[in-house]
Structures are given as structure tokens and as C-alpha cells.
Homo-oligomer: A and B are copies of this chain.
């Protein structure tokens, strides 16, 4: 047995650790006068930001007496304050808990107690949520008010001060401690298909490497969407949701101008994009749909706007509509457990100049190729890896330097997540020989009919091509003969007269042309006025099945 050569460092040698403070310190090196903007309310430079983060660190360690290893929560819209929390909390050695305000109050309470939050920084709009939990929050010692108005609203809660007031009382430099890169920096909760929310967690090392991965994949790769430090960034995926895909860290690392939109209201979002000349954002298809549907959208110049789409499948029609507006869009893929970015559309105009606009759109809606350091494989249910041949269908499993190492205080589901030494995404896909991943379904949503798998995503995509369909969701319903059969929920467009027969006829053209099997054509349709969505805007198949009592 031989081993590689590992040399003990010189005793005086500095052991360089990958810490979030390095991202922070970088922000001052290039363009310290660039601005961080919050709606039409606040704008200040990176120099100010630097001082405010130092002040917040003093508030945490001095005023609130937060020790290293403790959890500090934020319950806020996307704001300059949240960005300060992204840095100051991990940089003093504490753990930032990003609370998902779209969960039910019971779920929010569960996550506060499970994460053992010692402090909650709470936007005034969310005080009522916490008011309803008084006496039930087991570890919370302080609630700090985040106020846009500067006034303290009436509340039955005992507040430990208002954010800006507290900051003003503290010095504007801070000697941040140096510690292990494996220290946990952030945590947040993901709602699975069953059971209680699960806590994922990420270390300083993981977040620095994820930032490097994004900088390389989005900055150094010549792709249809390529960023640079002169870009102006605005998130439209909430900061509570998987680090807003890691972009606030990336934007700060590169010293970009940054715009935080507060509560998501389409008129404000579009106003900020235009006024602040936002050039790069990310969002889920639902938000893109809302923006593209805005009545005056065609009068706006959105041709300098680059948008990474993720969270759920990007419908081809929506992709084309955005492209028509001149928006540069690509798809990103990842999940709460993965920090999140795993893959991005790769569309190189130099080497792929032969592609038609249609073929480009096809690429843009797929899941892309794994970014730097990410190893993506397909696995079958027995734990065997499958070939990337464009045909084999299996679960996407991953290795990368930025994956949660388990679920917080949940051994059993941690083991399931990491079975066979790969992180299991629960997504079913094929991988083409050129590396392009096509997700065909969620593992739990795939329909097992007569021994064959029917992709609910594919059926949804084909149904949505009927001109009278506004939205659709396909789920499995039990079937005595076939084990499971597809059932399609349909939201019809206004003033149409869509019937089951129309849809069956529409779908049979695809089975006739060989695109799908005959048994994949749904026979059951249910017309509804709305499709249930989860807190992050994805189709909530769990709730659909529950409501259908299947």
C-alpha cells in the first residue's frame, strides 16, 4: 500500500481557509464606490456596506451576545439588510438561518425551533407571523425589527431594537475572527414530498467554492449568457431560497452594482430593471411569465437583461416569448440540497453557430451541462451507475464540493440522501453523450403504468401545446389494471370550450407520430380554475394528489 506525499507545513505558515470573509474583503478591492440599492428607498456604496457589516457584527456579538456556533435568523424580503446578514452572521462564526416566509405558520415555527434560532431579524410585515407564535418559540431570545418606514409598529412582541438604530450605536470596523473553513455558515429548510421540513446546511468552504464555480461557469465560459463585474445584479428568486442561487455572494465577490427589490411586485421589479439598468437576474418560470405578461412589456427595452431560469422546467413557449423580448435566458439546475447550482445551459455562439433559433430554444429549456467541479451521473434503483447515452433513464446523482452533508438532526433521511455515496436529487433524467441533461420527471412524480414509466413532465409539455390550455399538471392516479395512470389537471384559457375529447385527440397526434407511446396518452382530465403551487412557486403535486384523494 503506497500513499501520496503530504508534507507538514512550516509551523509559522499561514493555513489558508476558505472563508466568507474573503468574498467580503474582495468587494472593496476593485470598485468600492459601486452601489447597493434597495427599491427606491436606500442606496449606498460598498464602502458603506463594509462599515454596516462591521456594525452588524458588533450588534450580534456585543448587543445581542451571540456566541460562535449559534443560529441567527432573517425573516425579510430581498434587501440590503439581508445582504449584510449574509456576511456578518457567518463572519462572526454564527449560522445564518434564512426563514422561508411562504411556509405555513406551523412550518415556520417548526423550522425556528429545529434550527434553534437565538435571534430573528424580522421585517415589519412578518411580525404578525411571530406574534402568533409567542410562547412557542423555544430558543429565541431576541427579535430585531427591520423597518422600511423607520417607525415601530404596534406589536405584542418584545423587540430588542430596530436594525438601523442598533447599527448606529456601534463602531464601523470589526476584527473578524479566523476559524475552520468547515464551520457551518448557513442553514435553511426544504419541504419534501412527505413529512416535516428538512434542514440543509452549508459551510464557509462550500459557499466559497460555489462562488468560484459560478464565477467560472458564468464568467469565464463563452456562453450565450456571460457575466462580468460590470453587470448590475438583481435577484428575483428570494434570498431565503437556497442563497438566492448563490448570486449575492457572487455579485459581492466581483464587486457588481447590486439591486434588492424587497417584496416581489412586477411593476416595481420592471421599474428597477429599467431605472437601475439591471443586466443579470435569476427567477423561476412563474415570475418570468408574470413579467412577460405585463401589459406594457413590449414598450420596455429588455435587451440588456440576462436571466438564469431554474426551480422548475422552463416551458418552451415561455422561453420563446422571453427571447422575442430580447432577454437572454438560460436554464440552471440545482436544489436546496446542492447550494444550489449544478448545471447550466451551454450555448456557445462560436461553436454552435449552425443551430437554428428553434434548436437554440431547445437547448435553453434543457438542464444544461454540469458546471466546473460537478460530477453528475445517472443511477438506477439498485445503486448502479448508468451510461450517458441519451437513452438510459435514471435518477440524477451528484458529487460536488458544495452539497449538504446531510439533513440537520435527521440521520435517517441523511442516509437516504447519500445512499451509495452520491447525493440523490430525486430527478429522473437522460444524459446525452455530449453531456446535456434532460430531466424527464421527479422520481416521485413518474407514472408507472403497466411496467413502463410515463414522464409527467413530458405529458404536461405536450398538453400545454394545445392552444386553449393555459396551464396543466399531470399526476399519477392508482389503477387496478395498470398500477398507475396519468390524470391531467387543466386550466383552460378564458372563453374557450375545451373538452376531454379535444385533449385526447390532441395527444393522440403525438402517439401517432411516435413521440410518446399509446399508453402514455391520458384518458382522464379534470378542469380546474387554478393549479396548486408550493411556497416557491412550483406545482404542488403532493397537494394535488391529496385533494384528489389518490
Show the binding face of A for B, using Cβ within 8 Å.
Answer: 2-7, 9-14, 16, 18, 22, 25-26, 29-31, 67-69, 93, 95, 179-180, 182-184, 201, 203, 209, 212-213, 215-216, 218-222, 226-230, 253-254, 346, 348, 350-351, 369-370, 372-373, 375, 399-403, 405-406, 408, 411, 414-415, 417-423, 435
Contacts and interface: CB of A to CB of B under 8 A. Distances in A.
Contacts of A216: 212, 215-216, 219-220, 253-254
A403 B228 contact: no
A12 B372 CA distance: 23
A339 to B, nearest CB: 11
A419 B370 CA distance: 42
B184 A6 contact: yes
A14 B183 contact: no
Contacts of A369: 29-30
Given A3-B68, A219-B219, 7 more contacts: A6-B184, A10-B405, A26-B372, A30-B221, A212-B212, A215-B215, A220-B220
Contacts of A16: 373, 399-403
15 contacts: A4-B68, A6-B182, A6-B184, A9-B405, A10-B405, A10-B411, A13-B406, A14-B418, A14-B423, A18-B209, A29-B369, A212-B212, A212-B372, A220-B254, A221-B228
B418 A13 contact: yes
Contact of A230 (B348, B420, B435): B348
A3 B92 CA distance: 10
A5 B95 contact: yes
B12 A183 contact: no
Contacts of A411: 10
Contacts of A420: 12
A211 to B, nearest CB: 9
A30 B346 contact: yes
Nearest to A204: B4
Contacts of A346: 30
Contacts of A14: 399, 403, 418, 421-423
A458 to B, nearest CB: 25
A57 to B, nearest CB: 14
Q: Which 8 A-B pairs have the closest CB atoms?
A: A219-B220, A4-B183, A9-B405, A10-B406, A2-B67, A212-B212, A222-B228, A12-B418
For A222, A400, A403, which residue has the most chain B Cβ atoms within 10 angstroms?
A222
Given A13-B405, A216-B219, A226-B228, A69 B7 contact: no
Q: Which residue of A67, A69, A180, A372 has the most chain B CB atoms within 10 A of its CB atom?
A: A372
